[in-house]
Structure 1
């Protein structure tokens, strides 16, 4: 059987560097890639923590190719999402690497065809869902390959899904322990973009990777700007953010509930913004159609629950916005990491309020989990709240959570616009006293709205009914607005001095509140911004990015091109769009923007010159080289 350059009869294994250049068109590895690839090519087990956009896929794809060419068989990739499998296989096919997937999108004949390809030895990589690994028929196929010495490597993507401590636990991943038990001697590489110490330990234990070498890359994504704002009018704030800073650009808006996803997408459409909904309650066909449109079309916004996004390879997502507070920093980091995979400037924007803090705590308290798990989840939420309420560099705090030291970034909202801070010791004591007095007087607690009414001296029906106008704390906080008091309360909740409990979010004092009440602990808080205020305008964005038209801006790699270069770039993008539609692939799978920009800049006149462009492998050079040269020659020069 003719298997082309992937013949197992190759007399000597090709080097990883050779594969990187020949297949993927890159001249050099990035970061820890070379060390990881070398270790896995040599048959070592590995745990890889690398941020989204850091090049995790190459860490197992290159060893898969090297080991297949050396006659060591197929690499099985465990992947949790059908869409990710489709995109990865499509990209490998474009690069000339025989790959396939087995998942529920295939009918019986499709499954049988893939199984035949697998057993023939032609496939270099096979992608499969974790639940496939537990099916007897599939395990028997792997047994047969293993007996023949044709099972080369297991790659477990999104490995954090195996951990109950993680932010995206999936029970099917627990069954992956069968790989170490049943296929001894077959190397395994587990990869994830985020995992704290608890999650890392869980991955190592549950996947039997105690002897694996651990590779931890920097979690820093310097191209992402982190902006966290107090909620005033969430929709108005989001609309300003989109129109002033990301008009016409692709992005993701995360919401906590399915209903909020649908309502927000409909509202954005009504505002003339191209937006699509995505959540697990939609039909499979609609989810697939919306995801395909998001991947293939320019400038679309996906409004989604966290059911969307894992493994999405779309490189030009310019922003990720959260309308609700995530559960923990791992989830926040994973979701925001979907922005700026191409290395171009991107933004992570989040709006949050008092209700987020209260609701998240309530969900933890009411969950059926044991006390140990609840304590850990509360600690994770507290870390996220500390990030949201921080007065210092966001990136520095975010990286510190993952055990990484860093200097202030100079690029997050706190670095660019240092928040005003104030001595809120007196205000905190007033609020804590009011909570205590109301509870002492009535024999039970009250929610935030009522406490603030008492503080501000509002004679509401409830205040009069409870006779709380007679309390010593009635009206002592009239000097602050309701928004300011909500900011104080939210920050005291984040600091742990106040607790919110039960279905009605009744406020009570924690043990640490006593020291505050006695004046033993100073309380310095972030000053609440005035309603409607905003930090940046379109003029600021124009000054920063050079965008004077409001149209989607060119990537940085193309923005410096002269007029002729930009004409060549536009012609190449149009050509790429036609190829992508013809092959039913996202455009970036054909070539990334940065590759097109380099073509437009260097204007190669021959295939030999084109071969030196980063991202042009041998298969793509053979398939598209002449067409690219034609497009460049015909473009305005």
Structure 2
């Protein structure tokens, strides 16, 4: 049997596979160390950001071990979209791969199973609920007995953790892979996991002996912008029109109804948009997803049911019209932008109602108290990020335990928000909440509190006699918008808590020090979001538009556009998304280099042997004719 030394100077060596199959000249970051660990038969736990190249960390070992006679790699994934996408891309690159999921007919599923059992398949993608069935386990046992079970790759491994943002109960059963096939190496991968989730993955997947690889969570090409809600639809439309006209993006909403209404409204405003949520008919969901993958410039308005496993590299923005549940979810969702490394935007608009709604959902869930406590902590961390007046990226990376310096690219770095000494305003607001309790041992929501602070004579104020409170009218100098910003920031700082169906307000222990004047409170000014962006922000955005074309002269740009038209024709002919044929970055490199021979073309990153054979001459002829 051939050597399992991952550094072997043969065609089985990882570097040779990377270049021959995928067309890349070298591994990035920790990829090579991960690949060598797995090829050598060791287990690995990999935390790597979206777009960081996680797939290569198991695809290269799968190819190497298959060439060494080790058989098939089983990729466990809950994501049908990822299965279709990656199998199509692997087959394009000359790697025999398949998937087993509910989209296959019985005949097609049996054909795939025969390929798997023969050992001819290099990779097989399957959902966890299928992998753990008695039938599939028996098939794995048969492969194992014949030495044809090569590797288990467990993608989206955070799903095993109850502390994670996407817990799936079926992942808990995956520990049986180690119990039954202890000598088969495993690689577990995820893009997001805090300390709780990492510990859970190791424990529940029996990865105690695995090498842990943690890459930087930084996505420097993504610009983070978080703004206060002020007519959010118009804010979203202005953002798309000013900064991403005609570009692909994803807009996340919390409810299915809001998804459909927002998509319809955007279409009415001239933006090509489609809705996607779990309540749509399955065929429609698939058609919308296929269109998003294959067409340029579409905006998908979706719940978080959309996006996991979507490998579309040229998503130029991800927008949130509602506050996510935690930083892990926010990070993973925003990570779907700019997978090609070109500039992209993560844009979020939020308000006090979002904070109240998220807190209520936690409080009203049937989960155990400890789980609720952890989830409140995660929400508080997200609120701190949203209300920060320092670098967003520093805060985001710190959440994952990574130190960094100001990025110079987020909204706070580019246009530092004005701040003010909000100590007295904070004391007035906290005192207002305290006086409610002292007056009638009752709690009230934000609207009534602000009415009392501003001295408004409403029916509710009269009903409860709150015009007699010492806090009535003490905050008349601030507008309602300003008071809401003060309250939101005090919640983020942990001095106020909003609870229950109506978001009634209470004080935390830390509020005492503020009320006594022992703590100074620096607050961010509440201003209209459009004013904050300003002309300077738009100038920066315009300068970075169309990153792949930034340094192209007229002739080079003509070659790039011709290559994109050629790619579109090939993609339609093969029924594949265009980026599966070649990424924009590869086409841009071709346009700049203008290769005149197959040898010249083979040196361009992203051109593997199979694609060189399939498309090389057509590309050389096309460029030669220009």
Normalization by structure 1: what TM-score? 0.95
1:557 maps to: 548
2:543 is matched with which residue? 546
Taking the aligned partners of 1:421 and 1:242, their CA distance within structure 2 comes to: 28
Shift of 1:12: 6.6
Structure 1, unmatched stretches of 5+, are: 1-9, 548-552
Counterparts of 1:87-126 in structure 2, within 5 Å, are 87-126=85-124
Q: Hey, what does 2:65 align to over in structure 1?
A: 67
Residues 30 and 373 of structure 1: CA distance in aligned 2, closer, same or farther (over 3 Å): same
Evaluate the alpha carbon distance shift between residue 468 and residue 156 of structure 1 in structure 2; reply closer, same or farther with a 3 A threshold. same
Partner of 2:251: 253
Q: What whole-Å deviation, never above 9, does each CA across 1:499-524 have from its counterpart, x for those lacking one?
A: 12222211121221111111111111
Offset of residue 439 of structure 1: 2.8
CA shift for structure 1 position 219: 0.4
1:558 touches 1:594 (CA, 8 Å); kept in 2?
Answer: no
Task: Identify which of 605, 608, 613 aligns with 1:614.
Answer: 605
SS in 1 for 2:254: coil
Separation in 1, partners of 2:43, 2:313: 29
Shift of residue 254 of structure 1?
A: 0.6
Does structure 1 retain, via aligned residues, the 8 Å contact 2:10–2:16?
no
Which residue does 2:266 correspond to in 1? Answer: 268
Q: Which residue of 2 aligns with 1:528?
A: 526
* Residue among 488, 494, 497 paired with 1:496: 494
Within 5 A, what are the aligned runs for 1:597-612?
597-612=588-603
Q: Within 2, Cα distance between the matches of 1:613 and 1:412?
A: 33
Contact 2:11 2:17 in 1 (8 A): no
In 2, distance between residues paired with 1:576 and 1:614? 16
Deviation for aligned residue 1:540: 4.3
The separation in 2 between residues aligned to 1:501 and 1:608, in whole angstroms, is: 66
Match of 2:587 among 587, 592, 596: 596
Whole-Å separation in 2 of the counterparts to 1:390 and 1:561:
38
| Paired position in structure 2 for 1:227 | 225
Residue in structure 1 matched with residue 503 of structure 2 by the alignment:
505
Asked if 1:83 is matched to 2:85, the reply is: no
Of residues 448, 453, 459, the one that matches 1:461 is 459
Whole-Å separation in 2 of the counterparts to 1:602 and 1:264: 43
Structure 2 unaligned spans of 5+? 1-7
Q: Deviations over 1:546-602 (max 9, x none)?
A: 37xxxxx53x23321111111111110001001111111110000000110111111
Q: Give the match's secondary structure for 1:406.
A: coil
> Which residue of structure 2 lines up, in the alignment, with residue 583 of structure 1?
574
> How many Å separate the matches in 2 of 1:209 and 1:75?
18
1:370 to 368, 371, 379: 368
1:68-109 deviation per Cα after TM superposition (whole angstroms, max 9, x unaligned): 001111100001111110000000000000000000001110
Kindly state the Cα deviation for residue 634 of structure 1 after the two structures are TM-superposed: 2.4
Report the Cα distance in structure 2 between the residues aligned to 1:606 and 1:391, rounded to whole angstroms.
54
**Offset at 1:11?**
12
Partner of 1:392: 390
Task: Map residues 159-558 of structure 1 onto 2, 5 A cutoff.
Answer: 159-530=157-528, 533-537=531-535, 540-546=537-543, 553-554=545-546, 556-558=547-549
| Secondary structure in 1 matching 2:533 | coil
Q: Which moved more, 1:476-485 or 1:601-610?
A: 601-610
For 2:617 and 2:530, how far apart are their aligned partners in 1?
55
Calculate the TM-score normalised by the size of structure 2. 0.97
Partner Cα separation in structure 1 for residue 609 and residue 162 of structure 2: 43
Instruction: After TM superposition, give the deviation of residue 532 of structure 1 in Å.
Output: 5.1
Aligned: 1:129 with 2:127: yes
Deviation at 1:226, TM superposition (A): 0.6
Please say if residues 455 and 478 of structure 1, whose CA atoms lie closer than 8 Å, have aligned partners that are also in contact.
yes
Whether 2:140 is the aligned partner of 1:142: answer yes
CA-based RMSD: 1.4
In the TM superposition, what is the alpha-carbon distance from 1:392 to its structure 2 partner? 0.9
3-state SS of paired residue (1:232): coil
- Residue 32 of structure 1, CA deviation: 0.5
Q: 1:418 to 1:531 in 2, by over 3 A?
A: closer
Once the two structures are TM-superposed, the CA of residue 237 in structure 1 deviates from its matched residue by 1.0
Number of aligned residue pairs: give it: 619
Residue 544 (structure 1) shift: 4.4
Contact 1:439/1:446 (CA < 8 Å) preserved in 2? no
> Are the structure 2 counterparts of residues 100 and 532 from structure 1 closer, same or farther at C-alpha, using a change threshold of 3 Å?
closer
Kept in 1: contact 2:223–2:409 (CA 8 A): yes
C-alpha distance 543-497 of structure 1, shift in aligned 2 (>3 A): closer
| 8 A Cα contact 1:13 1:70, kept in partner | no
| Residues 243 and 542, structure 2, Cα contact 8 Å, conserved in 1 | no
- Displacement of 1:175 in angstroms is 1.2
Deviation (angstroms), 1:536: 3.5
Partner SS state of residue 259, structure 2: helix
